[in-house]
Structure 1
Amino acid sequence: MTTLNGRRVMTRRELMAKYDLSLTYLEKLYRERASNGHPEALTTDGRELVWDAVEWRRWYKKLNDVSKLDSREDLHDRTGVGLSTLARLWGDRESNGHPQPEKVVGNTMYWSPKKWDAWYKNYKASQAWRTEVDDSGNPEDRITLAEAARVLHMNPTSITKYPTRPPKHWPEPVEEETTETGRVKRWYRRGDIWKYAELRERGGGGRPPRGQSRSDRRYPYDGDPRLEQARAAVRESPDTSTAQLAGELARAHGGTAGTWSHIVRSARQHPEG
């Protein structure tokens, strides 16, 4: 370990190795030191910044103290709300007012139980009038039209004409296939069906990203601001694995590494907007 004036100090490379953190995450923590209390660098060792090892360890331990906070799994265990529902509620935070996490440690977000419970109580009250919808499963799942009907608690025959005569807010399929008999098979993103159910009940609202309608979407996450963040990360680190980039993006911007993996894959397949 490096010493400076008799004090044990650590460089970023040493912090990365000791605490198993990425360079991107460490740089983000230091940039945000005005709000998170990150210790100031003591001086430079050559071209590298160094920090007092004991001071940094104490700060990082305090930063990661989540003993009075709830992760998504904690919320699930405590309230009984499904993990997929909790993920969807977070994904729709811009429209439903979901609280921001108090802390993000690695890929895991943590919320104040008191704040989250108060928000969820109000959210449930505002949604009491909604038609029952099956909110189990992963929002990124591809499902058939018949499965979409089951999600919406509708008879499959009642939505067979939706693809050709779509009602307001009906999403575009993410994939289509024409069989040898000429029949068109379509698959939809489960999350898009959930969003349709919500907008159908509201009778409006819920603008897609950047004013773009779903019928204009050219590929997954087209128009989503997160796609540009993923593209920038891919350009900066083209040889970094999708899983590692997804983890770093989740830590930097919130959300789950699983969702960011889908976004990064779309960014690699469609590097230009």
Structure 2
Amino acid sequence: MEEFKNIDDFLAKWASGELSDDQKKSFEQSEEYTYYKAILEGTEVLDVPHYNKEGLYQKVQAQKEKEGKVISLVPKWVYTTAAAVAVLFFGYIWPTNSATEYSTGYGEQLTAHLPDNSEVIINSNSTLSFHKKDWKNGNRNVDLNGEAFFNVEKGSNFTVETTNGRVTVMGTEFTVSSEDNFFQVVCYEGKVRVSLKDLSQTLLQGDAFRIHKGTVENWKMNNVEPTWIQGESNFTNAPLSQVVKALENQFDITINTENVDTDIRFTGSFTHGDMKIALQIVFESMDITYTFTDKNTVILVVK
């Protein structure tokens, strides 16, 4: 791309659709075109809000004038597209054979569409990744660390890999939650197969499965989708450690549990809209006192 002297300006205009026909034709015939096109297309699976192309372009120009020099690195020009902004905020997408990855922070949720149009809603402080090239060969595999709700299109086997176990389906709706010493799967529609090192179990609609510290638990539920999608986390006879983790992920706080038994069980829910109300609902019902040692740290003590 030797003829394009100012690469930042050029890529900003290309990403915004502002190139002339001659410029676009010349660029498409260059060796660099395939590389930059792969990066831009990689962002299309994300749901992103409407954006002001002109405003973003002006910000790029202002930043360049402030710096007084141009460094031709991909991350710099990526700021000129809203899709790329979503990539920088939620995760990273790279071309070639590397994995596509989506990540959420504390209190965040992200909806992503996979190559087969399956939909995934990723809960707070979680990461989902997959290799796009594998899907072209019918291998629908994703890796999950945290919690996500899957609405899977029918087709070949769809597999969710976690450090705790594997979930395989053909087409259905379900959630998977995988943390240290905790693994939970809930089937909302269809049928899923849960596979662990020395255990395999099939779940039908309304079935829920949990393994906590090596103990398997099964129960029934009536919800048509996970309540956390609507801003409320719900638990059925869940160990306190799971509830604490959910509170930490939602409100970006650290909860000290050294003085309480984290294996005691909680049934109920807490709202995502108000941290203090959420803490009151959970801990006061369990006769546990919570105290803030600073704005982000909570210590628990049995009453």
So what's the TM-score if we normalise by structure 2? 0.25
Normalising by structure 1, what TM-score?
0.27
Q: Which structure's residues are more often strand, by fraction?
A: 2
1 or 2, which has the higher helix percentage?
1
Instruction: Select the structure with the greater relative contact order (CA < 8 A; seq sep ≥ 6).
Output: 1
